[in-house]
Structure 1
Amino acid sequence: MLEERPSRAPGDQHRILVTGGAGFLGSHLCEQLLALGHDVLCADNFFTGTRRNVEHLLSDPHFELISHDVIQPLDVEVDRIYNLACPASPVHYQRDPVYTTKTIVLGAFNMLDLAKRQGARILQASTSEVYGDPGVHPQPESYWGNVNPVGVRSCYDEGKRCAETLFFDYHRQHGVDIRVARIFNTYGPRMHPEDGRVVPNFVVQALRGNPITIYGNGLQTRSFCFVDDLVEGLGRFMEANPGGPGPVNIGNPAEVTVRDLAQLIIDLTGSSSKLVFAPLPPDDPTQRRPDVSAAAQMFGWQPGVQLRDGLRKTIAYFDGLLSAGEFLPLRRERVR
């Protein structure tokens, strides 16, 4: 149940487009924006997003869901745009890498064009992957990264880097009001069980009592941000006044090894799963930790949910899916 909308000052309510709004992050963001009293237009082509993520919002008269692929232009009246449309896990973005690059780059172009026509403020969901396998730790926004431009992850890494370029060129050349958020590893309810990222992989394997697969030696580190913290950070960044284009890191700086994450999930689920090891995928980063001081200084944000608490909520979500027999396969072909 959404919170009752608070009373808002005239002109404080926005009509907001969320591309990729039926995905994991997008659906939580739509939910938050509605709770804050905004009108939300959710656009998704359901390549990795799913209608079930936003079904509970369909009865809200301030929410609209449309089927749309951001590769194609979109003409709607909005004053805020969150551009989240893109497959975000290696399993998904490597399935059709040419389409992934088109989604990121053409999607950025089309949404920036819309923002220019409408005079709208637009936020790009960029990624920590722009830093590649970093040579600087933790990663500040001033670090230019260490990215392989011809590797199997390049469609996503370089696509997002190109999108950032487009955003800043539209800002400098056309005066578009932009925000660029570099999102670090995020987890929580509504991730798909076949997502392919480490948290859902480990949770599903643990709940089923299957061996937990760790790629490499498990000593590589990640920093995991719970989805509620992440969407709050995006919202604060969008509305920061005075604000700025960024880029700004949004993530949790608490660092954990992949092996310790697996053991924590085993403990929280009470699973009998054992750890098994497999070769590390190409270009997989060895360290990932955000410097979030810019977010704290610019709009007073820092994550508040501890990893153990966020994992409990995530485990409960996946346990519910398993119990109800609702593990649905992901769509294997995009909507054309």
Structure 2
Amino acid sequence: MNFSLQRFLRHLYFICQKELLSLFKDPRMRTQLVMPVIIEGFLFGYAANYNIEEVPYAVVDNSATASSRDFLAHIAGAPTFSCYAVCGNVQEVSTLIDAGDVLGGVIVPEDFEKKLEHGEQAPVQVITDGRNPMIAGMVKSYITQIAASWSEEKGYASLPVSIETRTWFNPNQLSRWTFLPSFLAMIAFVQVMFLAGLSIAKEREQGTFDQLLVTPFSPTEILIGKATPPVLVGLFQAAMVFLIARFWFEVPFAGSLFTLFLTLFIFMVSTTGLGLSISSVAKNMQQVLVYLLVLMIPMVLLSGLVTPVNNMPEFLQVITYADPMRFVIDAVRRIYLEGAGLTEIAGDFVPMVAVAALTMPLAGWLFRHKTT
């Protein structure tokens, strides 16, 4: 092994060892790293919930008759629904749901009008996206109401249109199936940002930072050494949440562990860069906490964790492209519930890698110019 590389790895080992010892030596810090993850994991599993105001959906009209067009027009006229696409078959609807472009599909059978004319029940299939269970339930409820309203308007004595629903990825429409996979990313985001953000400011307040600067470690080695422990802690906490979701709440995992944790790792590198940049410019820990709160709250709100991104105003949707948390939540949900592979979520990697490529060099520059 090249001597310079060997020396770099040796220095990196000692810095990481020092950072990890400083984290876990304090009993209070050990408690803070473990207990919030467990408590919040169970809280999200039992109590988290949300609603939505807009449902983009796709249509497959196999009947192509006046009755089917009139029925679909009633759905399109509902304030909550917006028709995103008219498809030729169910496979096209499946592609749109997988990509997150639509939240459901309405499939009208070929014999729709014929059954109505003979006084029989005409089933209409509604496919919903179980990755958003509240949306799935609302889609079913709204379309059932629309079917009842349409039947009454047409003067049918009974309800001739029956709604048959299928919920993909989350058949029981459980909210925790959506929130717990998302919480994998959120807990890592919060902890990594705080640990990376407080890293330099804490040493500056304790008076040990100047001692670190006079060691034979280069600024790059110090920066990487300070970035590595927060990422390791974030991966450890994400693994804890994964175990809670998978084995306590029994949320089925459909994807690959390698793909899941690779996605989380890339996301954590980008957030570590943000945290270290803040830590380099802040003069004390109080400033770091203020900066982190100002930055983290908008990032969480714009991520799609609480409300879907397509439900936000257009100018906010544009801003979300600078938020790596938006893309990690989308990727983690798809990996966990849908079983998406690397090629299917590659588009989510691009913004996260771009943020990491920007923030890590920025943190290095700030570290060299603001702390020496």
* TM-score interval for Structure 1 and Structure 2 normalised by the shorter chain: under 0.3
Which has more strand, going by share of residues?
A: 1
What TM-score do the two structures reach when normalised by structure 1? Answer: 0.26
